[in-house]
A and B are shown apart, each in its own frame.
Chain A
Amino acid sequence: MLELLWLVPALPLAGFLALALIGGRLRRGGAALNGVGSISAATLLAFFVAGTFITSPPRGRVFRQTLWTWIDVDGFTPAMGLHLDALSLTMMLVVTFVGFLIHLYAWEFMEEEEGFSRFFAYTNLFVAAMLTLVLADNLLLLYLGWEGVGLCSYLLIGFWYKDAANGAAARKAFIVTRVGDTAMAIGLFLLFTQLGTLDIRELMQRATQQWPVGSTAAVAAAWLLLGGAVGKSAQLPLQTWLPDAMAGPTPVSALIHAATMVTAGVYLIARTHVLFELAPGVQLAVAVIGTATLLIAGCSALTQWDIKRVLAYSTISQIGYMFLALGVGAWSAAIFHFMTHAFFKALLFLGAGAVILALHHEHNMFKMGGLWKQLPVTFWTFLIGSAALAALPLITSGFYSKELILLRAWNAPNGGAWLWAGGLLGALITSIYTFRMVFITFFGEAKQQAAKRPGARIHVPLVVLALLTIAGGFFGLPEFLHPALPPQPHGNESAARELALESVAAIISVLGIFIAYVLFLRNRGIADKLTATGAGSALQRYWFSGWGFDWLYDRLLVRPYVGAARANKSDIVEQIYRIITDAARACYAALSATQTGQLRWYAKAIAAGAAVVVAIMVFL
């Protein structure tokens, strides 16, 4: 059964090709069957492979399948190979299953839209690329998947291309992630030239053998890979693209910008964790970046009025938690949080999409209200997802994963207490903005009536994801991942200390819900008074704009570049080439001026020529 692993990424790719070539000629049903069917087949297959892997694990708990040699040049031979261990198995299952649910949802969500088959073509390509990314056995193939998901992200954000703003948002996403991708490519070059291979297992082995801890090569490579991860996962300083990426359809936001693509950076760091262990300074930087990002994004989420932007900032914040976990060496905790986050964030996005669809594409939360009666299934599943996001104790998987991260942060060797405090503060803010969103959207007086109830294809994914959100904490993922990802090196605390820390986290999350209740359900006046003060309104504007990063980048990078491009409009380099053509043209003009058509002119020319020739013959 394990040999069928290659079909898991191949089936969505085949689906993409079919839809790309003949999708235009299929009717809705056919395109949906193609698009959803390929993903469901891949999901089934993934489950079979997982079953085989778990019940009869291969030797060393790693299964490798090399399909063919991709490049064979002078000692550089990356292959099209798949590497299946606990980590990539987890990623594969999450990507295919959540992907399947979202495709099912999108079947109903995108029903009225034109470009239906184009949508499914892109999403199929995305799933294929993402699976390539997580199953790759060498960094070059991973980079192929990396670029592929970036491309699909661009195509899908700008799906409704007729509105220029969507195209701008797509370009912004692509360009910002490109900065990270370039850093990652340079990192790959560095790794190859220093260590001679890009095969991940080989690479990690050679790195531990040849590079001492803290050596410049390791540090440089780790920084560069971190750059790539930061770009793709929308962390500081490359986080500006994700809120704008909400211009795409909601299933896209759910699939790409919540559950899967943005976690590619987390996967990359987890996969190359050996390299980060060789560069402790960079690993600390990962944790610091994670903490800073989660706080910044959390504060920004507190002020947003667009429901999707709240969720976007929330995603950035939660990935900050994953980075924090990676930074303190808790690799499996990060992946655990990734899994639970994939479930509840996808659930929240799909729920938000159902609300948006029911209210005729209304995104402003403050124009919604009282929906808990009108959209009951949506409301209950959304509530479960929000509880998980706020890490409501004991019943939600979000609690277990976030708690594990905070625990591991406390245990970290440098600055553990600060990181833990930052994570805790972030948890408080998360609770507040999450339930602010819930209370404003679903409670209070109904400002609009829901036009139509969502159908089964929307409700089923919501319910399934809600169940997974509750049950996900009990899968025992961290232990499952231990063969692939080692546990945190620095010892565990005593049980009493652990209990104390857990209680603190639990109290904080409930406190946050209570604060949100007070501010946004019971008496909105308090919040309005706070934002009416000078400091309050300034803070609100600052946080609303994402702490001014867009403004900064615009002034620092975009404007000088656009100005330079405008100044070079006549393109200096082209002018140099134009010299050649202008010289030719000048010669042409000069020579054609000699063709006057007048006989006397020609006679003069002959006479002058004769004089010159005779002179040459006489005197030379």
Chain B
Amino acid sequence: MTGASLPMEYGLALAGILFALGLVGVLVRRNIVFILLSIEIMLNAAGLAFVVAGSHWGQPDGQVMFMLILTMAAAEVAVGLALVLQLAQRFNTLDMDAASKMRG
């Protein structure tokens, strides 16, 4: 089956839009779970860019990079959510602004 024959730029533009959306989510939300969620969106968008580029050149390198990104995202999510649990236990809130002791 033939795949889509599109210029790379379209895929990259899509990746960019998704990345921007994830960025907006990081900046707007105060609940830490949502912030981590938005970070995942950003990571996914970055991976999409890699895969699109790899497919454009017909090489597996893009997909390999995506696998590494995936691995990293998994590790990061694990540790990050553990920290979220700690935050929730200590501050009794999931408000990101509550953890601002390194102020000034």
Contact = CB atoms under 8 A, between A and B. Distances in A.
Question: Do any CB atoms of chain A lie under 8 A from CB atoms of chain B in the complex?
Answer: yes
Interface of A: 592, 595-600, 603-604, 607
A282 B78 CA distance: 101
B27 A598 contact: no
Interface stretch (B1-9, B59-67, B92-100): B92-100
Contacts of B35: 599-600
B104 A603 contact: no
Query: Secondary structure of the A side of the interface?
Result: helix
25 contacts: A592-B104, A595-B102, A595-B104, A596-B100, A596-B103, A597-B99, A597-B100, A597-B102, A597-B104, A598-B96, A598-B97, A598-B100, A599-B96, A599-B99, A600-B27, A600-B30, A600-B35, A600-B96, A600-B97, A603-B26, A603-B27, A604-B27, A607-B23, A607-B26, A607-B27
Nearest to B38: A603
A592 B103 CA distance: 8
A177 B23 CA distance: 79
A604 B30 CA distance: 13
A607 B23 CA distance: 8
Interface of B: 23, 26-27, 30, 35, 96-97, 99-104
Nearest to A611: B23
Contacts of A592: 104
B103 A595 contact: yes
B27 A597 contact: no
Contacts of B102: 595, 597
Contacts of B23: 607
* Top 5 closest pairs, chain A to chain B, by CB: A597-B100, A597-B103, A597-B102, A598-B100, A598-B97
Nearest to B98: A598
Contacts of B103: 595-597
A609 to B, nearest CB: 12
B94 to A, nearest CB: 12
Given A600-B96, A607-B26, 6 more contacts: A595-B102, A599-B35, A599-B99, A600-B26, A604-B27, A607-B27
Contacts, number: 30
Contacts of A607: 23, 26-27
A594 to B, nearest CB: 10
A373 to B, nearest CB: 87
Contacts of A598: 96-97, 100
A585 B2 CA distance: 66
B79 to A, nearest CB: 16
A607 B26 CA distance: 10
A596 B97 CA distance: 9
A571 B104 CA distance: 33
B17 to A, nearest CB: 15
A604 B96 CA distance: 14
A597 B95 CA distance: 13
B88 to A, nearest CB: 15
A595 B26 CA distance: 18
Contacts of A597: 99-104
A592 B27 CA distance: 21
Contacts of A604: 27
B63 to A, nearest CB: 26
A596 B104 CA distance: 6
Contacts of B96: 598-600
Contacts of B99: 597, 599
A598 B103 CA distance: 8
B30 to A, nearest CB: 7
A607 B35 CA distance: 14
Contacts of A599: 35, 96, 99
Contacts of A603: 26-27
A600 to B, nearest CB: 6
Nearest to A610: B23
A588 to B, nearest CB: 11
A261 B99 CA distance: 78
A598 B104 CA distance: 10
A599 B102 CA distance: 10
Contacts of A600: 26-27, 30, 35, 96-97
Contacts of A596: 100, 103
Contacts of B101: 597
B82 to A, nearest CB: 17
Contacts of B30: 600
A247 B77 CA distance: 89
A604 to B, nearest CB: 5
A516 to B, nearest CB: 85
Nearest to A608: B27
B6 to A, nearest CB: 24
A103 B101 CA distance: 75
A600 B103 CA distance: 13
A605 to B, nearest CB: 10
Nearest to A593: B104
Contacts of B104: 592, 595, 597
A231 to B, nearest CB: 60
A600 B23 CA distance: 11
A603 B30 CA distance: 12
Nearest to B20: A607
A64 B100 CA distance: 84
B46 to A, nearest CB: 13
B22 to A, nearest CB: 11
Nearest to A607: B23
A596 B101 CA distance: 9
B81 to A, nearest CB: 16
A481 to B, nearest CB: 82
A603 B27 CA distance: 7
B65 to A, nearest CB: 21
Nearest to B28: A600
A563 to B, nearest CB: 45
Nearest to B103: A597
A617 to B, nearest CB: 15
A146 B11 CA distance: 95
Chain B CB count within 10 A is highest, among A595, A596, A599, A604, for A599
Nearest to B30: A600
A595 B96 CA distance: 15
A597 B27 CA distance: 15
A595 to B, nearest CB: 5
A600 B30 CA distance: 8
A610 to B, nearest CB: 9
A316 B102 CA distance: 76
A603 B104 CA distance: 17
